[in-house]
Amino acid sequence: MTTKAPAATRNKILMAAFAEFYKHGFQGGSLNHIVEMAGTTKGALFHHFAGKQELGYAVVDDVIGPLLKQRWLDAVATSSDPLADLKRAFRQFVKTDIESGFYVQGCPLNNLAQEMSPLDEGFRTRIDKLYAIWRKCYADALANGIKRGKVRKNISPEHVAALVVASQMGIWGTGKSSRNRELMTQAGEAVCAYLDSLKP
């Protein structure tokens, strides 16, 4: 039991920090709130993390990275039809986030990118690495789709991947700034129409 307790405490702190930073931003996030939500102490927080900055980095590496993989990358990683799977993911997550109300908080990765990349090199490099992994995953899936005859041969997988990832940032950013469900849905459908245009 004792060996699991520190890992469980660290995980509780990380999940509380993710929720706090998602709602209030990194700079606006309160360590007191995080400790309270995690049901632990400041001593425990500082046992696991040297300070707020290190906690923020761990949220990017250990919470947002795996969330990105589970939500967006796994959908196409072994796909035989990346266009269909990308469209399915777009429609599913636009719908899910609108229904849950999370769309008004935007994308947690994009939020941190906008807030912290200009201010902190540690955040910028971590966030940039995740976006690079995201683009590469899509580019690889599209290249595989070309080989399987599911995607037009005359497209650049890297260019399309860059555009689709940027579109995702824009759609969730639009949802956050406009708080308009219909607008977010329209933007998602426009991306799906673009993906349809890439079929052979």
Q: Return the higher-pLDDT residue of 2 and 16.
A: 16
pLDDT at 2 over 50: no
Range of the domain at 16: 1-49
CATH number, domain containing residue 181:
1.10.357.10
Q: Are residues 26 and 12 in the same domain?
A: yes
Closest CA to 168 of 123, 135, 122, 128: 135
Confidence of residue 1 (pLDDT cuts 50, 70, 90): very low
Using the 3D structure, point to which of 9, 30, 49 is the last residue of a domain.
49
Confidence of residue 184 (pLDDT cuts 50, 70, 90): very high
> Which pLDDT does position 4 carry in this prediction?
55
pLDDT at residue 141 above 90?
A: yes
| Alpha-carbon dihedral sign for residues 180, 90, 95, 116 | negative
Record the tokens describing residue 134, joined without a space. 């995201």
Contact 45, 17 (CB under 8 A): no
**pLDDT at residue 130 greater than cutoff 80:** yes
Query: What is the pLDDT at residue 105?
Result: 87
Q: Is the pLDDT of residue 136 over 60?
A: yes
Q: Are residues 16 and 78 in the same domain?
A: no
Same domain, 69 and 166: yes
Q: Which helix (H) or strand (E) holds 200?
A: none
CA distance readout (Å), 174 to 8, 24, 47, 71, 168: 36, 18, 39, 19, 10
Residue 111 has pLDDT above 60, yes or no: yes
For all residues of the chain together, what is the average pLDDT? Answer: 93
Q: For residue 26, what is the domain's CATH number?
A: 1.10.10.60
Q: Are residues 12 and 73 in the same domain?
A: no
Number of independent structural domains in the chain: 2
- Domain final residue, candidates 33, 49, 65: 49
Residue 40: which H helix or E strand, with range? Answer: none
| Residue 38 shares a structural domain with residue 116 | no
Same domain, 22 and 68: no
> In terms of Cα–Cα distance, which of 104, 197, 189, 97 is closest to 155?
197
* Region 173-196 average pLDDT: 94
CA distance 87 to 167: 13
Same domain (yes/no): 17, 5: yes
Domain boundary residue, one of 30, 49, 68: 49
Q: Are residues 9 and 91 in the same domain?
A: no
What Cα–Cα distance (Å) separates residue 14 from each residue in 47, 62, 68, 124, 173? 13, 8, 16, 19, 24
- Residues 71, 137: contact at Cβ < 8 Å? no
**In this structure, are 42 and 86 located in the same domain?**
no
Q: Does one domain contain both 23 and 95?
A: no
- Each residue of 29-68: pLDDT tens digit? 999 999 999 999 999 999 999 999 999 999 999 999 999 9
Which residues, at least 6 apart from 30, have a Cβ–Cβ distance to it below 8 Å? 20, 24
| 35 and 61 inside one domain | no
63 and 34 in one domain? no
